[in-house]
Amino acid sequence: MSEMKRYPVDPEFAAKAHIDNAKYLAMYEQSIKDPDAFWGEHGKRLDWFGPYSRVKHTSFDPHNVDIRWFEDGTLNAAYNCLDRHLEQRGDQVAIIWEGDDPSESEKISYRDLHERVCRLANALKAEGVEKGDVVTLYMPMIPEAAVAMLACARLGAVHSVVFGGFSPEALANRIEGAASRLVITSDYSRRGGKVVPLKANVDEALADPAAARYCKKVVVVKRTDDELAWHDHRDLWYHEITVKASIECPAEELNAEDPLFILYTSGSTGKPKGLEHTTGGYLVYASMTHEYVFDYREGDIYWCTADVGWVTGHSYIVYGPLANGATTLMFEGVPSYPDNSRFGRVIEKHRVNQFYTAPTAIRALMQQGEEVLGDADLSSLRLLGSVGEPINPEAWEWYHRVVGQGRCPIVDTWWQTETGGIMITPLPGATATKPGSATRPFFGVQPALVDKQGNELEGAVEGNLVIKDSWPGQSRSIWGDHERFVQTYFSTFKGYYTTGDGARRDEEGYYWITGRVDDVLNVSGHRMGTAEIESALVAHPAVAEAAVVGYPHSVKGQGIYVYVTLQAGFEQSDELMKALRHWVRREIGPIASPDLIQFAPGMPKTRSGKIMRRILRKIAEDDFSSLGDTSTLADPSVVDDLIAKRLNRW
Ligand code: 6R9
């Protein structure tokens, strides 16, 4: 394993930060010892219409999974993200929108955003949308996506955002699954100079009678002047219905446990699950983590590069930042358009202070070399964040050195769609960091490691990552299928929330996420995280990306199958294969030596950039007859190439 490095907290940063280490330790202890008092106090960060008298009412007992926070309080999420800021900061910029085309950008004040949300909420009401109805959003990264989320929240309607990169079939399934009666979309989306026909995809989804049975209206934002097929009985132009709507729209008084949104996410098996999040606990948790993890301060410009189609976009582009009265940047484009310096250009243009992105983006930039951000002025940056997958130490170091210029702390934030907000993370003024470790739990979060039988493990050890007790941001259920929720998350290890991830805890109590538990290999009785081997491989100068899976091996139980994408300028060869094998032996040890190494020009990735290991495992097992649904891949054609060149043939 590569030498463990440690980056202490900069005392100057700590002196100005919300939370230093002493404060972290004291607050953490209180949050665990007396969650009612702790969250009762921090719940006050929101404006409540009716106060809560009960704070925590939760049970992880598989016979009675029941999660409620602030259950007798009433509030409205849109009110907390908009109305309550108007007096103090009505003219402050709420959303900076940066278009795909660098010449397009827009600044929207809190007052303006409030007005837009009220107009759309009234227009939706006029179309019959009521409290409790599910509205599906299938949108590009344009301000109207945030407006639509908040308009739903204002009415008590439940939004279900479906990532704009999903296929019509995936969209139809989600419309049907949520019995959604209205879709908000855009004529086209623009990304990386290309246009995607979103509205045509909605038409195709609604050609499916199962979806059309529920969905009767489609609201369309006009993004381009291109031609469009139109259905008069069903389709409505966003600009036409909002222009005539009133800018007065009272925010519905909702219960803390009324649903705010559902968000579909893929499990390892079965159809996607619609995770349900409710209003009070979610918003308390999203806003508090946003403030403390990113050390957000008044006047900061904060940029999270996620898409609103994912939970990161929900919690850390829209709800967390806006509840805090922050200025949040929303980016329509991609890091490589018009060229690879785009992230740097946007940081420079808007003087971004906090920058939050994913390891896959960092590695893509890293492949282009140290000069990738051009001569962009990055001096405004104060903090960097990472989310979505384990970050390998080399990418961490590169991010720190090249983007953060050695000056900015990095917060490697571990969490999930199910958790609503960040769970394990450094706090920049409190936590010394180690590249590759998500470090310590946020307030109120009690991680634990258990063995296969569910016994809790103590000390420096590796195991299944579980959470011992509830936190306010936790998902309450799977929409329409509470039993599946109980089965998936509370039945494997009784009394715990099962994350599905594995982790290692070091001597200092820091957590190192090793990846999904189903990705853990057992080779000759040795347990190994695929992420660990990948991280070693990616550290080799010839390797751009690596994915490791297990395959059945007659002697070792499981063998190690490696897919490697080379950096530009490197050729595949037997020598290189040998060198890589040797490299891994040296980095981790002989037990981690790859059995098979397949050079792969591309990996099968979801459109959010996650490698689909399920597919790689199947190919490694020489069983590609049942690859499952590959339609949601960013580029389904890579699969054929991988199959043609597979190495494990019976
Ligand atoms: C927020 C988000 C959740 C899964 C999670 C884990 C992986 C996320 C991570 C990380 C290591 C991190 N993951 N953050 N692994 N370090 N900092 O990504 O939600 O899309 O539901 O994915 O992503 O495996 O279980 P989601």
Percent of the chain topping pLDDT 70: 97
pLDDT recorded at residue 631: 78
**Tens digits of per-residue pLDDT, 384-411?**
999 988 888 999 999 999 999 999 999 9
pLDDT recorded at residue 13: 96
Of 534-538, 555-559, 575-579, the least confident:
555-559
Q: Using DSSP, how many helices (H) and how many strands (E) does the chain show?
A: 22, 31
3-state secondary structure of 404: coil
| Residue tagged 């939004």 (tokens) | 159
pTM equals: 0.85
Q: How far is the CA of 393 from the centre of ligand 1 (A)?
A: 16
Total Cβ atoms within 10 A of residue 460 = 12
Q: Are 435 and 397 in contact (CB under 8 A)?
A: yes
DSSP string covering 563-617:
EEEEPTT----HHHHHHHHHHHHHHT-GGG--SEEEE-SS--BBTTS-B-HHHHH
Q: Which residues contact 385 (CB under 8 A, 6 or more apart)?
A: 293, 294, 304, 354, 355, 356, 357, 410, 411, 412, 413
**Tens digits of per-residue pLDDT, 544-572?**
999 999 888 777 767 899 999 999 999 99
Q: Which of 511, 501, 505, 528 is nearest to 459 (CA)?
A: 505
Q: What is the mean pLDDT of residues 520-533?
A: 68
Q: How far is the CA of 214 from the centre of ligand 1 (A)?
A: 32
| Confidence at 634, pLDDT banded by 50, 70, 90 | confident
Interatomic CA distance for residues 584 and 523, integer angstroms: 15
Determine the length of the chain. 650
Q: What is the mean pLDDT of residues 223-231?
A: 93
Of 198-202, 352-356, 516-520, the least confident:
516-520
pLDDT recorded at residue 466: 98
Among the atoms of ligand 1, which is closest to the Cα of residue 418? Answer: 21
Q: Which of 597, 607, 613, 461 is nearest to 530 (CA)?
A: 613
**Tens digits of per-residue pLDDT, 180-203?**
999 999 999 999 999 989 999 999
pLDDT recorded at residue 526: 65
Among the atoms of ligand 1, which is closest to the Cα of residue 516? Answer: 24
pLDDT recorded at residue 518: 63
Q: Are 595 and 552 in contact (CB under 8 A)?
A: no
Say whether pLDDT at 419 is over 70: yes
Annotated binding-site residue? 540: yes
pLDDT recorded at residue 525: 53
265 in ligand 1 pocket by Cβ < 6 Å?
Answer: yes
pLDDT recorded at residue 47: 98
Q: How far is the CA of 388 from the centre of ligand 1 (A)?
A: 4
pLDDT recorded at residue 520: 61
Say whether pLDDT at 45 is over 70: yes
Quote the ipTM score: 1.00
| Confidence at 3, pLDDT banded by 50, 70, 90 | very low
| Confidence at 12, pLDDT banded by 50, 70, 90 | very high
Q: How far is the CA of 503 from the centre of ligand 1 (A)?
A: 12
Structure tokens at 485: 């929720």
**Burial code of 415-430, b = ≥16 C-beta within 10 A, e = fewer?**
bebbbbbbbbbbbbbb
pLDDT recorded at residue 552: 82
Interatomic CA distance for residues 147 and 391, integer angstroms: 32
Q: What is the mean pLDDT of residues 417-424?
A: 97
Q: How far is the CA of 553 from the centre of ligand 1 (A)?
A: 29
Say whether pLDDT at 144 is over 70: yes
Domains and CATH numbers, the chain: 77-90+110-282 (3.40.50.12780), 524-645 (3.30.300.30)
Annotated binding-site residue? 194: yes
Interatomic CA distance for residues 449 and 512, integer angstroms: 11
**Tens digits of per-residue pLDDT, 439-479?**
999 999 999 999 999 999 999 999 999 999 999 999 999 99
pLDDT recorded at residue 524: 65
DSSP string covering 472-494:
TT---EETT-HHHHHHHHHTTTT
Say whether pLDDT at 159 is over 60: yes
Counting beta carbons within 10 angstroms of the beta carbon of residue 32, is it exposed (0 to 12), middle (13 to 18) or buried (19 or more)? middle
Q: Which of 381, 389, 431, 397 is nearest to 411 (CA)?
A: 431
> What amino acid is encoded at 636 in this protein?
P
| Confidence at 268, pLDDT banded by 50, 70, 90 | very low
Annotated binding-site residue? 34: no
Query: Ligand 1 pocket: which of 261, 360, 412, 414 to mutate (most atoms <8 Å of CB)?
Result: 414
Q: What is the mean pLDDT of residues 339-353?
A: 97
Mean of the per-residue pLDDT values of the chain: 93
